[in-house]
Chains A and B, each alone.
Chain A
Amino acid sequence: MARTPNLSTVVLEGKGQVTLNANAHVATGGEGSIYRIGDTGIKIYLDPDRIRREGLTEKVRMLSQLRHPYIVAPQGLVTTTTGVPVGFYMPFADGTPLPRLFTNDFRKQVGFTDPDASKLVEGMREGVQFAHDHQAIMVDGNELNYLGMLAKKRAPEPRFIDVDSWTIGRWKSTAIMLSIRDWHAKGFTPLTDWFSWGIVTFQLYTGIHPYKGRLDGFDFGDFESRMKANASVFRKSIRLNNAVRDFSCIPAGLAGWYEAVFEHGERTVPPSPLAAMQIPARARTMRVVATGKGTLVFEKLLERTNDEALRVFPCGVALFASGTLIDLRSKREIGTADPATAEVARVEDGWLIVSGRSGNMRAQYVDHTSRVNHVIALPITGEQCVRYENRLFIVSNRGLTEIVLKLFGKPILAVGQTWGAMPLSTRWFDGCGIQDALGAAYLVAPYGDAMCAHIRVRELDGITPVAAKSGNRFVAVAGIDKSGTYRKYEFACNKDYDAYTLWQGKADGPELNMAILARGVCATIVEDGRMSIFVPSTGAKTDVQDPHIATDMTLYADTDRVVYTRDDAVWSVKMK
């Protein structure tokens, strides 16, 4: 194995002798060690014989003809004092690694703006074009092979480093980073360089690799498969995190080029970002995270074409009109069920799905890891299924009977506790029942992990309930009083469910558009532009104004986050 020569004094061709010592050492990588003496950088190959073997002396001479202020090309050979070539020297570039400029944190820290990004990108475009004009191909133009030179009073400029790895003359590059590789090309050409340039510069604008983000049908982070499939961030169903900058920061002409290259597989030379900077408008919205000017952040979690999103269960599974059930976290289908009657609960290592009515009820268990669907027998017959958070019950003549999953090698449903409820005079809603016992109203409210309360609620006597929703220590009921007026009742229960405080008032209609989160926080849309967030147990309440809020959003709780359905999509909403 070749060893690093023991160097102290070397000769810089055309410049004279210099001494390399520990103070001059900058770094050692896989190929060689870099030293700095004044404004000069010196690369000494770890394998000195490589220069002779690969004829690098001639390559260094060819690269030294590339004279451009942005390109840190070799300027001459470095030899031992006896004239044996051991490396080359170049201008020393001490700039900012490009990945830092991808992040919002660093951009804020140094005041790097979108126009700065365009100036830097233009410099990178100019440098790549210069290389091509001189019959050189970068091949491995990844983000670590550029530096950003940031100065307060000057436009940012790039520096192209690792130039000795470029393809020029008979010397071919030997390595490329996977994240910038054009998987659709055989070999490496100026157009593959432009593809790599696109990948890197897109991140300068947006902060994200154009084949990252979450896209259904691909594993999260599997950018290689996405690149091969041209499945980029320009897909309608892409889901991006909040650190991604809005694509509107990209000059329009260049944005179109990015989309054509990443999504449609076109390979062309990019336009200058500066030429297109004056055109601010975009043809269409490219992001699914809508932050707007309001106080809330809206994020599209899932969308299915021509399949209306009907409900979201507290376990984070969305039900669509086709009956398809999709886990919002993995975005994978977990099964299908009758959309009118389906109830889904998260149980140990999977999901329990019950649907159907009367003698036609059906239960399925879906394993969380394998997604294998087991149809399992219900242990009792009943009229319908009721769900409270992640507990499931069967309503029968005996009352409300909990069903419990047991995993004994295979999933089995067992009969749990039964609580009495009059079958004919109890109406069942989302998480609770309201019983009219000869004119006396009772709430039948499961709570906690294994309890169910029977609460006398005189305020509902004579009220015809039309909707109800129950969550942690809270039950909301919408009903019609004897005068035909819609009223809303909100019961905040104590922890033992043997006392409650009540808020009641008039309502516009029978709808209860409300999310009751597991931690006891509720959200409801009062009117277009206004959402009310409140904690029933403490009485704390905040009204949030945001122009994106609309009454056609139907709110649900996904454990501790508020989600909503609208048309074919499920969105999340949270405070900025």
Chain B
Amino acid sequence: MPKLMDPNMEVATIGGLQQFKFSGVRTEHLGATEYTLVTIATDSTGSVSGFEADLRKAEITAVEACKKSPRSNNLLLRLVRFSTSFPSGIEEIHGFKPLSEIDTATYPAVVPQGMTPLYDAAFSAVGATNVYAEKLNADEYLSNGIVFIITDGDDNESRSTPAMIRKEIEKAVKGEHIESLITVLVGINATAFQQRLEEFGRDTGLKYIDVGDVTKGKLAKLADFVSQSVSSQSQALGTGGPSQSIAATI
């Protein structure tokens, strides 16, 4: 069944041959003066079979935990899943939208199938953040971003390349449109691919974190890690970061 587009949202396209699309709330509907753009991209390929329900639960836990942040009204969160079973390899569960408008109960079940377009997921996640931040910047909204790519395996079906991902991350680092961007690649149940994923992280600038073998406890910790990192990045945007040690001179 086709998804009905929320009239408060608009669709944009990331540059490049792939023409990845994403959606975000129209700036005229924004209620805060600055935002942290959060993206969670979850592996939905055949290999997550067996813990797909826990993955969905981790997504929900992470998003619900973000709602408790003191700066939750300054977050816009986008959730995507990636697998070659989706057209273009990416399925957007929802675009960048305020947490108060996100109903995690409607998150569909993860259906494990298809190959792993990991590079496409990373490229589109970072690219969408950059493009949307540019839009916010044009409308005088300050923003920073944080992207989590959660995978249990290496790329085996992408049109994007590590060089393209690096270029997108470097674009953010220049800080022309976005104040800062944190990009995290999370490996879960990915011990067999650890070396490859570490290499991918080094090649692109994604910070790689290996969670180890999947357990309910590990997924709960992953959700906690996501919400803590989001909260910290949001605080960095609004206040210059946590309280700094005092040097009582100018």
With A175-B245, A329-B138 given, is the CB distance from A143 to B250 under 8 Å? no
Q: Which of A157-198 contact B (CB under 8 A)?
A: 172-180, 183-184, 186-188
A240 interface residue, CB < 8 Å from B?
A: yes
User: B137 — which chain A residues lie within 8 A by C-beta?
Assistant: 220, 329
A494 interface residue, CB < 8 Å from B?
A: no
Q: How many residues of A contact B (CB 8 A)?
A: 54
Residue in A99, A108, A329 whose beta carbon sits within 8 Å of that of B238 in the complex: A99
Residues 105-120 of A, flagged 1 when their CB comes within 8 A of B and 0 if not, give 1101100000000000
Residues 85-114 of A, flagged 1 when their CB comes within 8 A of B and 0 if not, give 000000000000111101111101100000
With A99-B73, A140-B243, A220-B137 given, is the CB distance from A242 to B100 under 8 Å? no
A125 interface residue, CB < 8 Å from B?
A: no
CB pair A104–B243 under 8 Å, yes or no, is no
A33 to chain B, nearest CB (A): 15
B103 interface residue, CB < 8 Å from A?
A: no
- Complex Cα–Cα for A104 and B98 (A): 12
User: B27 — which chain A residues lie within 8 A by C-beta?
Assistant: 241-242
- Select from chain A the residue with minimum beta-carbon distance to B247: A176
A367 interface residue, CB < 8 Å from B?
A: no
CB pair A104–B246 under 8 Å, yes or no, is no
Residues 217-247 of B, flagged 1 when their CB comes within 8 A of A and 0 if not, give 0000000000000000001011111111110
CB pair B250–A103 under 8 Å, yes or no, is no
With A186-B249, A187-B248, A220-B142 given, is the CB distance from A179 to B70 under 8 Å? no
CB pair A186–B248 under 8 Å, yes or no, is yes
A-B interface contact total, Cβ < 8 Å: 119
User: A241 — which chain B residues lie within 8 A by C-beta?
Assistant: 27, 30, 33, 139-141
A223 interface residue, CB < 8 Å from B?
A: yes
B32 interface residue, CB < 8 Å from A?
A: yes
Instruction: Tell me which of A205-213, A400-408, A439-447 binds B.
Output: A205-213
- Complex Cα–Cα for A239 and B139 (A): 9
CB pair B70–A175 under 8 Å, yes or no, is no
CB pair B98–A105 under 8 Å, yes or no, is yes
User: A176 — which chain B residues lie within 8 A by C-beta?
Assistant: 243-244, 246
A347 interface residue, CB < 8 Å from B?
A: no
CB pair A207–B246 under 8 Å, yes or no, is no
- Complex Cα–Cα for A400 and B168 (A): 39
User: A213 — which chain B residues lie within 8 A by C-beta?
Assistant: 140
- Complex Cα–Cα for A188 and B32 (A): 31
With A242-B28, A242-B30 given, is the CB distance from A106 to B73 under 8 Å? yes
Residues 227-244 of A, flagged 1 when their CB comes within 8 A of B and 0 if not, give 010000000000111111
User: B70 — which chain A residues lie within 8 A by C-beta?
Assistant: 97-100, 144
User: A228 — which chain B residues lie within 8 A by C-beta?
Assistant: 250
CB pair A103–B74 under 8 Å, yes or no, is yes
CB pair B30–A243 under 8 Å, yes or no, is yes
- Select from chain B the residue with minimum beta-carbon distance to A213: B140
With A99-B71, A105-B73 given, is the CB distance from A244 to B248 under 8 Å? no
- Complex Cα–Cα for A396 and B238 (A): 56
Residue in A100, A139, A184, A576 whose beta carbon sits within 8 Å of that of B73 in the complex: A100
B31 interface residue, CB < 8 Å from A?
A: yes
- Select from chain A the residue with minimum beta-carbon distance to B240: A178
- Complex Cα–Cα for A175 and B137 (A): 31
A214 interface residue, CB < 8 Å from B?
A: yes
CB pair B239–A177 under 8 Å, yes or no, is yes
A560 to chain B, nearest CB (A): 11
- Complex Cα–Cα for A568 and B74 (A): 34
User: B241 — which chain A residues lie within 8 A by C-beta?
Assistant: 177-178
A402 to chain B, nearest CB (A): 24
A430 interface residue, CB < 8 Å from B?
A: no
- Complex Cα–Cα for A478 and B145 (A): 49
B85 interface residue, CB < 8 Å from A?
A: no
CB pair B239–A178 under 8 Å, yes or no, is yes
CB pair B141–A99 under 8 Å, yes or no, is no
A64 interface residue, CB < 8 Å from B?
A: no
- Complex Cα–Cα for A444 and B94 (A): 46
With A99-B74, A179-B239 given, is the CB distance from A576 to B31 under 8 Å? no
- Select from chain A the residue with minimum beta-carbon distance to B137: A220
- Select from chain B the residue with minimum beta-carbon distance to A288: B140
Residues 79-118 of B, flagged 1 when their CB comes within 8 A of A and 0 if not, give 0000000000000000000101000000000000000000
B210 interface residue, CB < 8 Å from A?
A: no
CB pair B240–A179 under 8 Å, yes or no, is yes
User: A100 — which chain B residues lie within 8 A by C-beta?
Assistant: 70-73
- Complex Cα–Cα for A224 and B239 (A): 10
CB pair B72–A104 under 8 Å, yes or no, is no
B244 to chain A, nearest CB (A): 6
Residue in B32, B174, B244 whose beta carbon sits within 8 Å of that of A243 in the complex: B32
CB pair B141–A243 under 8 Å, yes or no, is yes
A55 interface residue, CB < 8 Å from B?
A: no
Residue in B30, B142, B174 whose beta carbon sits within 8 Å of that of A212 in the complex: B142
- Select from chain A the residue with minimum beta-carbon distance to B239: A179
A379 interface residue, CB < 8 Å from B?
A: no
B179 interface residue, CB < 8 Å from A?
A: yes
CB pair A103–B240 under 8 Å, yes or no, is no
User: B248 — which chain A residues lie within 8 A by C-beta?
Assistant: 186-188
CB pair B31–A108 under 8 Å, yes or no, is yes
With A174-B245, A187-B248 given, is the CB distance from A103 to B142 under 8 Å? no
User: B100 — which chain A residues lie within 8 A by C-beta?
Assistant: 105-106, 109
A142 interface residue, CB < 8 Å from B?
A: yes
B34 interface residue, CB < 8 Å from A?
A: yes
With A184-B250, A186-B250, A242-B28 given, is the CB distance from A143 to B239 under 8 Å? yes
A462 interface residue, CB < 8 Å from B?
A: no
- Complex Cα–Cα for A239 and B98 (A): 24
- Select from chain B the residue with minimum beta-carbon distance to A214: B140
User: B74 — which chain A residues lie within 8 A by C-beta?
Assistant: 99, 103
With A143-B239, A220-B142 given, is the CB distance from A103 to B244 under 8 Å? no
User: A292 — which chain B residues lie within 8 A by C-beta?
Assistant: none
CB pair B33–A208 under 8 Å, yes or no, is yes
A574 to chain B, nearest CB (A): 8
CB pair B239–A243 under 8 Å, yes or no, is no
User: B243 — which chain A residues lie within 8 A by C-beta?
Assistant: 140, 142, 175-177
Of A102, A109, A223, A574, most buried by chain B (CB within 10 Å of CB) is A102
Known: A177-B244, A221-B237; 5 extra A-B contacts, CB below 8 A, are: A175-B244, A220-B137, A224-B240, A239-B140, A329-B138
Q: List 17 A-B contacts (CB under 8 A).
A: A99-B73, A100-B73, A103-B74, A106-B100, A143-B239, A144-B235, A173-B246, A175-B245, A177-B243, A178-B244, A179-B239, A183-B250, A184-B250, A212-B142, A214-B140, A220-B142, A241-B139
Top 8 A-B pairs ranked by shortest CB distance? A97-B70, A105-B31, A178-B240, A104-B31, A175-B243, A241-B140, A103-B73, A103-B32
